[in-house]
Homo-oligomer: A and B are copies of this chain.
């Protein structure tokens, strides 16, 4: 065991107290009532960075909640790593479902329970503690390390891209290592190497200019709910796959290692339907087929639908309009603008006559993210996990969208890997969020070894930054 790892083990009780203190700060970013918690958490991170030995520590003004920045520049010749995390947390509601209060950290069965402990306070504290251990024991780091901890991840990272853009000089790096993210399952190490992109749009079908009486006008007047449901029914085939011409244009298969992971996962389809509390479809696809759908196929999901009367009993009305909210998850190669265009064309073509159609995209959307299968940083991280945990980590994809991956690529020209020690079952958006302390300890060692391995990471040609 190296001196650094030794130091981390010896100071474990101390750093656990640091983590608890961090978790006592109610840094809920979505709710203005927690304004003080946000400021306190940002200050906590800044102070902890200073204590660890970081230089240039400051709160960056983002236009929203501040981001915390710090750096340890050892030697301009070494590769530069930018560590990412976020100090803000999800709201703790519903409070009555918590076994112990969300901002009073409590240990049970080697798990620390608190809002935000797994997402992302525990994981982000790890690299800070590792830097401290290096500086105390070796007086320097094996790499140059910058750290950027934002305060708006749980509320949509509204000011994140502009912050990257404004600070691109200072943030320049050869690799981003995110302390946010999650292992897929508790029983097997994994690296997230892909996530789906997204586009969002609202669709409204309008018939008459006002609501009509369904007795007097029923049969002759346009019913926009009827037109909308016919339209929506045309968007998927019988296997619930998107049936919009042009939707798949450019889509390509991701890293084949993901298919290996899917096969290795033995995902249990029956258990999946039990978990979500849904009747099993008949015929039922097997677990691998379901995972392919979640990870590797694009979707078009209806998130909400509304029109007309929704109250109790009956109202004999034909509404003027009906609307649906749609989000699509995109896979590598699909262009958000082309997807919106294909859906728009399909809707316009398939709308029955006698109605008008309004389509409103929410923003430009985001492309899918995927890590180059041969990225040196990815290989280094995998080697660390294999060495520490005894088996090569699975390469997994995420159905959900990770906007930071593409943001770092766009603004800094740097690739990102996800090296988090939280696990996706740790209830991080629900009551009784917890963090496995065994993973906290493993994470400390793993980050120490990763920094060592990254010493030989190739440096980017800075003019690659676009």
Contact = CB atoms under 8 A, between A and B. Distances in A.
Interface of A: 196, 198, 200, 207-210, 212-223, 225-226, 228-230, 232-233, 236, 240, 272-273, 276-283, 290-291, 293-294, 297-299, 301-310, 313-319, 322, 324-325, 327, 329, 352-356, 362, 398-401
Given A226-B236, A233-B229, A218 B294 contact: yes
Nearest to A276: B208
Contacts of A309: 303-304, 325
Given A210-B277, A294-B218, A305 B304 contact: no
Given A229-B305, A306-B310, A310-B306, A356 B319 contact: no
Contact of A329 (B215, B226, B283, B297): B215
Given A299-B218, A399-B217, A209 B277 contact: yes
A198 to B, nearest CB: 7
Given A218-B329, A221-B278, A304 B299 contact: no
Given A223-B301, A229-B232, A229-B305, A279 B218 contact: no
Contacts of A400: 213, 215-216, 316
Given A279-B356, A303-B309, 11 more contacts: A210-B277, A214-B299, A214-B329, A218-B294, A218-B399, A220-B291, A220-B293, A225-B324, A230-B233, A301-B318, A303-B318
A71 to B, nearest CB: 33
A282 B353 contact: yes
A301 B322 CA distance: 13
A302 B274 CA distance: 33
Contacts of A290: 220
Given A210-B277, A232-B229, A236-B226, A216 B398 contact: yes
Nearest to A294: B220
B210 A301 contact: no
Contacts of A305: 225, 228-229, 305-308, 322
Contacts of A218: 196, 294, 299, 301, 327, 329, 399
Contacts of A293: 219-220
Contact of A362 (B212, B310, B314, B362): B314
24 contacts: A196-B218, A210-B277, A214-B303, A215-B400, A215-B401, A217-B399, A218-B301, A218-B329, A219-B329, A220-B272, A220-B291, A225-B304, A225-B305, A225-B324, A226-B240, A229-B229, A229-B233, A240-B352, A279-B353, A303-B316, A303-B319, A306-B307, A314-B362, A315-B325
A240 B207 CA distance: 14
A225 B302 contact: yes
A362 B297 CA distance: 42
Most buried by B among A282, A291, A354: A354
A313 B202 CA distance: 9
A253 to B, nearest CB: 16
A97 to B, nearest CB: 13
B215 A278 contact: no
Contacts of A329: 214-215, 218-219
Most buried by B among A212, A219, A356: A219
A217 B294 contact: yes
A269 to B, nearest CB: 9
Contacts of A315: 303-304, 325
Q: What are the nearest 10 A-B pairs in CB distance?
A: A209-B277, A215-B400, A281-B354, A304-B308, A233-B233, A225-B302, A219-B293, A304-B309, A208-B276, A218-B299
